[in-house]
Amino acid sequence: MPLPRDVAPMLATTGPLPADGDHWSYEVKWDGVRALVSVRAGQVTLRSRNGNDITGAYPELLGLGEALGSTSALLDGEVVAFDAAGRPDFGLLQSRMHVRSPAPSLVRSTPVTLLLFDVLQVDDQPLVDASYDERRAVLEALPLTGERWQVPPSFPGDGEAVLAATLAQGMEGVVAKRRDSRYTPGRRSDCWVKVKHVHRTSAVVVGWKPGDGGRAGRIGSLLLAVPEGDGWAFAGHVGTGFSDATLRLLGERLEPLRRDTPALDGVPREHARHAVWVEPVLVVECDYTEWTRDGRLRHPSYKGLRPDADPREVVRE
């Protein structure tokens, strides 16, 4: 049985810790790029959440094929860049996410690690209908400990303790996974629940406002939206969190996406004035304090691009 190529990863909902904690297991929420990893006859292929082949971007992960030897597997995980303190750093990962064939110097200066937390198939045995506990036992039995890949621990039962530990270590939060649940490819399931310390959401860029002063001639802020029905709902604008390199990158990505009219209605006049409109295809990640009553992000701060995300699958976290 060949390993499937058109599988999309299972997605989590956002919420509080489950009340029936004994039925759940808890994992650290890793701040990286989701990847489905196919290993067959020693050959490794990584695909992003939206199905793009990202294998060439992470050459240090190709040794996973040799580690598994003759075993074929379809694995689910996260590509992460760690900072000097050993914490996932999404900003650091940005320097790797947008380079299809990185130079050896970049790989050495900013190495990534593949954290594997689920398995969908091993050799001829599909596992999507197996329970989380059963899949976890199979995953932990595979030879998946290496310099650039590993299986991070899972903690059954005490979600409060795991959540407190991640807060103390400066992590983003935890993912609670129901122990008797199957793997549902491509679906956002309430059997996986993200519990975050930091409010973070994805949003779609629908335009940008020119800057002034030190940003004259460049992007001043991004105009954001989230899907609503068959269209888009305005979600506010973000003008902080940008480095000079980020502004250059965003300018390069947005320039070919220009359009004459906005892709949505309801943009307030103060934001629509002088706006440069773009096709709603670029997804960004922002931290924020709360959603306002009129559906806008309060005090958002730009964190990075999400090239692995489908704009129509963005949800209002």
Please give the full DSSP string across 27-88, using - where no structure is assigned: EE---SEEEEEEEETTEEEEEETTS-B-GGG-GGGTTHHHHHTT--EEEEEEEE-B-TTS-B
Taking residue 200's Cβ as centre, other Cβ atoms within 10 Å add up to 21
Do 227 and 314 touch, CB atoms closer than 8 A?
A: yes
At residue 234's C-alpha, the angle toward residues 233 and 236, to 5°, is 150
What CA–CA distance (Å, rounded) separates 263 from 239? Answer: 20
Q: How is residue 112 written in tokens?
A: 């990534």
Residues 234/176, Cβ–Cβ less than 8 Å: no
Residue of 29, 177, 196, 303 with catalytic role: 29
Residue type, 145: T
29 is catalytic: yes
Q: What are the C-alpha distances in Å from 118 to residues 14, 19, 122, 253?
A: 19, 24, 11, 33
By annotation, the residues acting in catalysis are 29
